[in-house]
Amino acid sequence: MTFTPLEAVTLVFVLGCALTAALLRDVLAAIIASAAYSLGIAILWIVLQAPDVALTEAAVGAGVMTLLLLLTIAKTVRPENENEFERPNLRSLVVVVAFAGVLLATVPALPAIGAADSPVAGGEVTQYYLENAYEETEVSNAVTAVLAAYRGFDTLGEAVVVFTAGVAVLLVLRREVFV
């Protein structure tokens, strides 16, 4: 699998943000690096042609989580004399590098994005949805038919999770304002 320049730059950015967030000892800087990581992942989801997942990652990962973490550190005291970076444990570093190596070894086996010969594109389930979605659901867009009709409870569950997170943020913010 080859990467386009945009994919390569975004992947390097995401990996850099992840390493930075893991190594920083300053909590505020780690939260900012984590938010940048979430935005980078959202961009990768856009590149992978999954805008619904990208929107959720941007809203929950970069938005809600960052806000909740910032509110959390606003309630805590930061030590004055802490080092900026923490030295990683050598054994942990070896385990992480080995795990990343195993994961990266599987990348060449992945099909190209949007390839017609990928297992998902030619599967029985995909063909069934494409052939029967309009007749069974009367929805002209196959993706919408799958999300709303065939996977309706799953989509409802995702919407409930996002709604609950939004309500929790509003409750925290309201409590912050009135306390």
Q: Give the tens place of pLDDT for each residue, 62-118.
A: 888 888 888 877 777 655 655 556 677 788 889 888 988 998 888 888 777 777 777
CA dist 123 to 16, 111, 129, 171, Å? 36, 14, 10, 45
Q: Give the tens place of pLDDT for each residue, 138-172.
A: 888 888 888 888 888 888 888 898 889 888 878 87
| pLDDT mean over 21-31 | 87
Q: Give the tens place of pLDDT for each residue, 30-55.
A: 999 999 999 999 998 888 877 878 88
With CA atoms as reference, report the closest residue to 2 among 81, 107, 88: 107
What pLDDT is stored for residue 15 in this prediction? 92
Torsions phi, psi of 80, nearest 5?
Answer: -80, -35
For residue 169, the tally of other CB atoms under 10 A from its CB is: 16
What pLDDT is stored for residue 175 in this prediction? 62
**What are the start-end ranges of the H helices in the chain?**
5-23, 27-47, 51-56, 65-74, 90-105, 124-137, 142-145, 152-178
Residue/partner pairs of 21-26 with CB below 8 Å, 24 or more apart? 22/88, 23/85, 23/86, 23/88, 24/84, 24/85, 24/86, 25/82, 25/83, 25/84, 25/85, 25/86, 26/78, 26/82, 26/84
What pLDDT is stored for residue 82 in this prediction? 58
More confident residue, 58 or 109: 58
Q: Look over the chain and give the mean of its residue pLDDT values, rounded to a whole number.
A: 82
